Amino acid sequence: MMASMSQPSAGTFDIRSFHSVPETLNRLVSIAKNAGLGVFARIDFSGDAQRAGLTMRPMQMLLFGNPKAGTPLLIASPRVGLDLPLKALAWEDAEGSVWLSSNAPAYLEARHDLPHALIANIAGAQGLLQKAAAP
């Protein structure tokens, strides 16, 4: 069974995960590293909220990428650094479903006026997220 995917806005996409928030990101870390990508940071928003005395549903973000792929985009449009490295947000909704969300490559292309040919450098990340969310 494939993970379901939705496009909640023109700028992002969501992939339904069959795993918990931490396990979804653990899987993505492994898949990214196996694909030769670097993992730069993992942010545990819900853990940080708990340490601050607040409660929220599970939510974590992974920052990952490859300088060989991202640097040409940064050279073409320095402000793309606002969106690089790539980010994947794993979060649990009110019904207990887990989602993996990210920026859509076409959105980054339009937002930063990037040459279309360079989007191929980051477009493959969506497949990695689908793999991480799959059963």
pLDDT tens per residue across span 88-101: 999 999 999 999 99
Residue 8 CA to residue 31 CA, distance in Å, equals 25
Section 28-45 average pLDDT: 98
Residue 129 CA to residue 135 CA, distance in Å, equals 12
Work out whether the CA dihedral 49, 4, 118, 39 comes out positive or negative: positive
- Is the link from the previous residue into 67 a cis peptide, with omega within 30 of 0? no
Q: What is the pLDDT, as a whole number, of residue 5?
A: 59
Q: What is the pLDDT, as a whole number, of residue 10?
A: 72
